């Protein structure tokens, strides 16, 4: 059965409120050319942990986790992204990812490791930090524009 988003109860049970968090994730296996974004977005839903795993490549067309096939959730042309269950904390978990980078599709075995002591706020994610930087830059630009307007208005009077 194919799924776009992990919605079953296969995610490890967490003693956290439902919501979004960051988690450190390590990837081993394959040729070593592909990687994942870490920290990653961890989603706790109904007390179970899932991860939104973003690859360093757009060439992954599905993942197999615990015998279940997951399809990507990313927009066309973006790096491959999957929402999969976290099966264990602080223990290696075997997964399969199918890549089309070599012309013909190849299933590649990887090991994922998620660190329980690294769980933090969603604000620790690189993309969240980038949003804050853009927000601060916009405030500075708008503030500078307003200040410039009043300075020029005052100088012309």
The pLDDT tens digits of the residues spanning 52-111 come to 999 999 999 999 999 999 999 998 889 999 999 999 999 999 999 999 887 889 999 999
- What pTM was computed for the model? 0.73
- pLDDT value, residue 87: 95
Q: Quick one: tokens of 87?
A: 């099966």
How much is the pLDDT for 88? 95
Average pLDDT, the chain: 85
pLDDT digits (tens, 9 = 90+) for 17-29: 999 999 999 999 9
pLDDT band at 47 (very low <50, low <70, confident <90, very high): very high
* pLDDT recorded at residue 151: 75
Report which listed range, 9-13, 135-139, 144-148, is most confident.
Answer: 9-13
- What is the CA angle 133-139-144, rounded to 5? 125
Q: What is the pLDDT of residue 135?
A: 61
137 pLDDT band, cuts 50/70/90, is low
Kindly report each contact of residues 103-109 with a partner whose C-beta sits within 8 Å and lies 24 or more positions away, as own/partner: 105/61, 107/64, 108/29, 108/30, 108/31, 109/29, 109/30
More confident residue, 113 or 144: 113
- Provide the pLDDT confidence category of residue 114 given band limits of 50, 70 and 90: very high
């Amino acid at each position: 059965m194919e799924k776009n988003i992990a919605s079953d109860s296969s995610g490890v049970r967490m003693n956290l409120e439902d919501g979004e968090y960051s988690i450190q994730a390590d990837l081993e296996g394959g040729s070593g050319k592909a990687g994942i974004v870490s920290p990653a977005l961890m989603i706790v839903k109904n007390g179970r942990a899932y991860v939104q795993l973003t690859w360093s490549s757009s060439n992954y067309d599905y993942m197999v986790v615990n015998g279940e096939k997951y399809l990507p959730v990313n927009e066309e042309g973006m790096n491959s992204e999957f929402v999969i269950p976290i099966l264990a904390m602080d223990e290696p978990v075997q997964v399969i990812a199918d890549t089309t980078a070599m012309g013909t599709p190849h299933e590649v075995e990887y090991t994922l490791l998620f660190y329980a002591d690294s769980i933090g706020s969603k604000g620790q994610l690189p993309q969240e930090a980038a949003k804050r930087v853009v927000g601060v830059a916009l405030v500075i630009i708008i503030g500078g524009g307003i200040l410039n307007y009043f300075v020029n208005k005052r100088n012309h009077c």
